[in-house]
Structure 1
């Protein structure tokens, strides 16, 4: 596969002059020239021949193996893997640059689910034929995330949802029969657990609260778990509500009451993992990929065999996870659209690619694989994750997502650090989001 993999630096070096102009445009995040109309059009998926698949690094090796199988069976329609930087922001920038100057360098795009609306509104990706992807057998939230204005514009590739990690050994020691389902139950459990001698020096809970995309995720989950939304089904902001205030107050009061460690204000996923893995936390909200390192039996994890997982808590019952994951989309500028479509179908097929993906490192988009004995034997947390995914919601489906998430981060961070009261922060957020979604 090495001879067919090319990096984004190599390819873009040949178009440096053109991308200078695109960089200037990208700095504004792109402009949707026809954001109000449906993307559904009579796209003609014709043309067969070599194509390029552009994606972030394939650490698991699953994508490489699937591409090798495709190439062996399609010698005249070979796929070249173009590897983008690890940074999501840099990935998005390179994809936008390519689209703005209408290069045919990128054929099939691996898109973060939060980019869907932006790329579809700008017509940088094509709506897919109605019968191309078996969406009826996929987890509904993954299909929703790949849909823009009632048109499927991406093929769900892999997904992700939040898990609630907890110290089962300490719950047992405190006489607590079941993990908490609500924030109030978690607070009550912590009061009992932190009084135990074996819990000396521990803190109750952490999520991810640094001013980063992770804060948008945690804020959106808190609001949804309190019965609110960040934007409604039409994309209009809805954060000046009692539910949104209740959700944000969960985070604000967590710091104010000492439920969260003070340094959690700097936490991203990795910092939270280290704190939990080192035995400093009772509860943690995080992603499934941490399960392996927390379970390591080589001495690196102090909680191996001591923790368990469930759904994140809410205000009246289990909470609502934010959906993560990726979709595959097709560039309108690739000449070999027929090959691109067939490759996307092959790459996201249940038995061909998705089971391999599930056995490597990612959560598949087909619910059946979460109950497949071979998969569950290797990924024992999958049934719990499926529950989380079935209740998951995407982050705001808006065209100007970059500016939107920045506004959310700024105001949520101001509230949890005490720079603004909750009402002011949410009113300011509502005003910013209203301007961005006009």
Structure 2
């Protein structure tokens, strides 16, 4: 009899534990936030703050996606395609909004939520959250590259690519460090380099409606600059295999004079090479033409609400909380993630941690975005595969190849990886 009573209790106990685990049984739903893995603790801090600020209305559970962008996208795509209703708030790379919106995996931001999401937010990051003139995500953080250089080698930073290559050649003749560190491996960073140069030259990869490749003379100009660097003394011998972190390490080793990279290199140089840090300076990204500003390509993460969440209104509310002023400032100070709220660039704590805040803001205000299209993965692959290695670029024929491959992708003749 005792054994029978225990067996009768087990199903009830199991159902009670399941309710507690999901947060549903207590009436306090758990909102699952999926985002990149953050080692600084800033994202967990934001989740805890917003859970407390909800006054018992919801709890945010921060779930870490794989470290690489491809792995992050793959996990989200698989689960959304299966209509997984345990996904609530999604941290999307700035290139994914169009694809996810077209697939109807994320909800449009409207009404008061949209007004709050856009108020005070930088214009260019908002472009990465928009598809067909509708807002599908709210910018959480952003990023942009600056020119980093050694003041002991270069008293005045170059303003154009031509000036920088000329300075590198002069340093080489003197037997001094002279490399220009940039991302030349066959991956997304190579596409970003090309996109930055083509936009800085007055062009774009796609036309305004994202229905056809644009390219043209600005693209040939961009490809020529990439090839010229790769074949010059300014090129690191490892250029065709280098990504952001290899660039950072090369600069810290003292072998380079210039580096095109994100602000994470500043605290790293300070910690890893204090002697060289004394001469580590920054400037705006070099121009293609002296007459027009450079338009570096932005990065970052946007927060979207899943189409399959069981708590859409709470998810919108929580997403706005996660990217509010306090949490964006924390992410900037703890995690090195530049904010998307314009007002934070005037905050003393941010300026103290980012002495280059003014140049980051200037860069963001004139920045470019990667092509906004559901077929972006194909576009990026067409660019990075055709332009790798940079030393083998044939500007006219390489651009023609990119144009043909992108045109096929936009006509759905290729499969998004």
Matched, 1:147 2:130: yes
> What's the secondary structure of 2:340's corresponding residue?
coil
Show the counterpart of 1:135. Answer: 118
- Contact in 2 for aligned 1:111/1:326 (Cα 8 Å): yes
Matched, 1:71 2:51: yes
Show the counterpart of 2:399. Answer: 426
Post-superposition shift, 1:301? 5.2
> What's the secondary structure of 2:70's corresponding residue?
helix
Post-superposition shift, 1:161? 0.5
Residues 244, 237 of structure 1: alpha-carbon distance in 2 compared, 3 angstrom cutoff: farther
For 1:279-428, what aligned pairs fall within 5 Å after superposition? Answer: 279-296=254-271, 300=273, 303-317=276-290, 318-350=293-325, 352-360=326-334, 361-413=336-388, 416-418=390-392, 421-428=394-401
> What's the secondary structure of 1:114's corresponding residue?
coil
Equivalents in 2 of 1:275, 1:59: separation in Å? 24
Post-superposition shift, 1:113? 0.5
Equivalents in 2 of 1:122, 1:355: separation in Å? 33
Post-superposition shift, 1:77? 1.2
Larger Rg, first or second structure (1 or 2) = 2
Residues 109, 180 of structure 1: alpha-carbon distance in 2 compared, 3 angstrom cutoff: same
Equivalents in 2 of 1:58, 1:130: separation in Å? 31
Post-superposition shift, 1:302? 5.2
- Contact in 2 for aligned 1:162/1:287 (Cα 8 Å): yes
Post-superposition shift, 1:425? 1.1
Among 224, 227, 236, the alignment partner of 1:252 is 227
Equivalents in 2 of 1:374, 1:103: separation in Å? 40
Show the counterpart of 2:37. Answer: 57
For 1:145-294, what aligned pairs fall within 5 Å after superposition? Answer: 145-172=128-155, 178-196=156-174, 199=176, 202-238=177-213, 240-294=215-269
Equivalents in 2 of 1:129, 1:345: separation in Å? 13
> What's the secondary structure of 1:413's corresponding residue?
coil
> What's the secondary structure of 2:108's corresponding residue?
coil
Show the counterpart of 2:71. Answer: 90
Post-superposition shift, 1:157? 0.2
- Contact in 1 for aligned 2:117/2:320 (Cα 8 Å): no
> What's the secondary structure of 1:194's corresponding residue?
helix
Equivalents in 2 of 1:239, 1:246: separation in Å? 14
**What runs of 5+ residues in structure 1 fail to find an aligned partner?**
1-46, 173-177
> What's the secondary structure of 2:153's corresponding residue?
helix
For residues 158-192 of structure 1, the C-alpha deviation after alignment (integer angstroms, 9 at most, x for no partner) is 000011101111123xxxxx311111111222233
Post-superposition shift, 1:218? 0.8
For residues 317-363 of structure 1, the C-alpha deviation after alignment (integer angstroms, 9 at most, x for no partner) is 3421101001000001011111101101111112x322222222211
- Contact in 2 for aligned 1:294/1:301 (Cα 8 Å): yes
- Contact in 2 for aligned 1:225/1:319 (Cα 8 Å): yes
> What's the secondary structure of 1:93's corresponding residue?
helix
- CA RMSD of the aligned region, Å? 1.8
For residues 366-417 of structure 1, the C-alpha deviation after alignment (integer angstroms, 9 at most, x for no partner) is 1221121111111212211111111111111110222221111111115x23
- Contact in 2 for aligned 1:239/1:245 (Cα 8 Å): no
Equivalents in 2 of 1:335, 1:301: separation in Å? 51
Equivalents in 1 of 2:76, 2:169: separation in Å? 49
For residues 233-281 of structure 1, the C-alpha deviation after alignment (integer angstroms, 9 at most, x for no partner) is 2114445411110011001011123321232111101111111111111
Residues 131, 76 of structure 1: alpha-carbon distance in 2 compared, 3 angstrom cutoff: closer
- Contact in 2 for aligned 1:277/1:302 (Cα 8 Å): no
TM-score, normalised to structure 2's length? 0.87
- Contact in 2 for aligned 1:206/1:272 (Cα 8 Å): yes
Show the counterpart of 2:414. Answer: none
- Contact in 1 for aligned 2:28/2:59 (Cα 8 Å): no
Post-superposition shift, 1:217? 0.7
Equivalents in 2 of 1:50, 1:315: separation in Å? 49
Show the counterpart of 1:13. Answer: none
- Contact in 2 for aligned 1:370/1:386 (Cα 8 Å): yes
